[in-house]
Amino acid sequence: MRVVRERRAVGEDRDLDTAFGGVLALPRFALPRAGSTRIESKEDVRARRFRLAFAAGTKVEPMLMPNVEGFLAAGAGAPSIDVDFTLFFQAALFIGLWIFLTGRLFKPYLRARKERESLTEGAREEAAVLRARATEILTGYEAQLAAARGAAAAARESLVKDGRDSADQALKSAREASAKELEGSRSLLESELSGARKSVEPRAKELSNVIAERLLA
């Protein structure tokens, strides 16, 4: 079909060149104009050639006027695009590649990422629960330790007080017992001393008499 179109276009170009008397003897393809980046198609070139012919005042056969109008309309519109089987092949290749990558790469990656996020979130929640539990247990232990310390301090104070009272009582009892023993010993000593004096007085008198007699003799 493309060959037929090219042959038809070549025939129309020859007819138009003959009708316009060589005015349209221009190349079938043209480079971009100054300031433009678009390459003109065959239809654009032929339409421009017709416009140049009309501007030059060249006479056109009536039988060629419909074709002229068609070329002018083609030149005024957008350039035509030929669609062949490669476009469908590329589209099918793109869709197949997209399906393959979705099943083999994208979905596993998204699934793994979702699982990782769920595991991370679960680990964070579990860590928060464990942290709260540990804080609660530590608070309970600190309260129990404070209570035990208070009880130990109270028991120590009570023991110290009881020991001090017991020591004072024992010291008082010892002092009383010592005082009683000392008083008994003193009474016994005085009685013995009094008895000794009484027993010594006659002997002392005898000794004094003996001494006096010896001195007087």
Q: Does residue 201 belong to any structural domain of this protein?
A: no
Structural domain contains residue 200? no
How much is the pLDDT for 87? Answer: 86
- 142-to-89, 128, 135, 146, 149 alpha-carbon distances in Å: 76, 21, 10, 6, 10
| Residue 124: inside a domain | no
Q: Provide the residue range defining the domain that includes 30.
A: 2-79
pTM of the model: 0.32
- The answer as to whether 54 is a domain residue is yes
User: 117-159: per-residue pLDDT in tens?
Assistant: 888 888 888 888 899 999 999 999 899 999 999 999 998 888 8
Residue 23 belongs to some domain of the structure: yes
Whether 76 has a pLDDT exceeding 70, the answer reads no
Alpha-carbon separation of residue 81 from 46, 94, 124, 201 (angstroms):
17, 21, 59, 170
Q: What is the model's pLDDT at position 66?
A: 44
For residue 6, being part of any structural domain is answered with yes
Confidence class of residue 202 from pLDDT cuts 50, 70 and 90? confident
Of the candidates 7, 47, 5, the one whose C-alpha atom is nearest the C-alpha of residue 26 is 47
Which pLDDT score, from 0 to 100, does residue 207 have? 78
Residue 150, in any domain of the structure: no
Band (83; pLDDT cuts 50, 70, 90): low
Residue entry with tokens 């100054």: 34
Average pLDDT, the chain: 73
Q: How many domains are there within the chain?
A: 1
